[in-house]
Amino acid sequence: MPNDKTKSDLEKDSSKTDPTSAKPGILGPVSRRSFLSTFGAAGLVATTQPLLAAAQGSSLDDAPAAPEGTVPLTLRVNGTDHKLNLDPRTTLLDCLRENLALPGTKKGCDHGQCGACTVHIDGRRVNSCLSFAVMHQGQEITTIEGLGTPEHLHPMQAAFVEHDGYQCGYCTSGQIMSAVALLKENCGPSDEDVQHGMYGNICRCGAYPNIIAAVQQVRRQA
């Protein structure tokens, strides 16, 4: 029959594809040359990447890729640098509370209306719910945790305690952060001036008279 080939005929046919090819086996029709060029290139990449990284003064382990959808950034909070990978849409408030475990800054409205989330950025008061964390690289962020400690209260914290400037306490960290920054601003001397300057900090418990008394005491002490 015309299609019947002997074993020796088949071996001759396969060797025609490439005079350098090995006998047909697990590599099928892949030639020795293409095998060596393919796997040789892969080996070259594998061996040169660590060398390149070493030449650049870093190791591959030093620069892990940020998870998809995040950006790497460093935030300086209460005097400590924190390296983070964050979704760029993360608010500073959520970053502080959920990524840095600093729950002293409170989430009230999450819309810039209550002041419970007030922190300092380079000494100025900011509603952290209205600001993205990625906007604050290179700045000094201060939260209520960085203002004083239970053993060494900031004068404003001590005045709030002395004047009962709180009831439930939910607004208090924002009130204190706002009051500390207020006294560095151009605020008039009267109680009405302080009331006006603290306008963005809501207290649902209505502790306003005591809050103003505390702020005025700190001002007199200063």
- Contact residues toward ligand FES (CB under 6 A) are 107-110, 112-117, 127, 129, 166-172, 203-205, 207
3-state secondary structure of 204: coil
Instruction: Please state the closest distance from residue 179 (CB atom) to ligand FES, in A.
Output: 13
Tell me the closest approach of the beta carbon of residue 41 to ligand FES, in angstroms.
55
Q: What is the CA radius of gyration of the chain?
A: 34
Q: For ligand FES, which is the closer residue by CB, 207 or 215?
A: 207
Nearest distance in Å: CB 96, ligand FES: 12
Q: Please count the CA atoms within 13 angstroms of the CA of 24 that sit on its side-chain side.
A: 12
C-alpha 153/C-alpha 151 separation (Å) is 6
Torsion of CA 49, 50, 51, 55, to 10 degrees: 100
- Packed helices 172-182 and 155-162: angle between N→C axes, nearest 10 degrees: 120
Least distance to ligand FES, CB of residue 64, Å: 33
Measured from the CB atom, the residue of 21 and 163 that comes closer to ligand FES is: 163
**CB 101 to ligand FES: min, Å:** 18
Q: What sections of the chain are H helices per DSSP?
A: 7-16, 32-55, 92-94, 155-162, 172-182, 191-197, 208-221
Q: 70 vs 99, which CB is nearer to ligand FES? A: 99
- Looking at the Cβ atoms of 196 and 204, the one nearer to ligand FES is 204
Which residues face 77 on adjacent strands?
A: 80, 141
Using the minimum distance from each CB to ligand FES, give the nearer residue, 108 or 197. 108
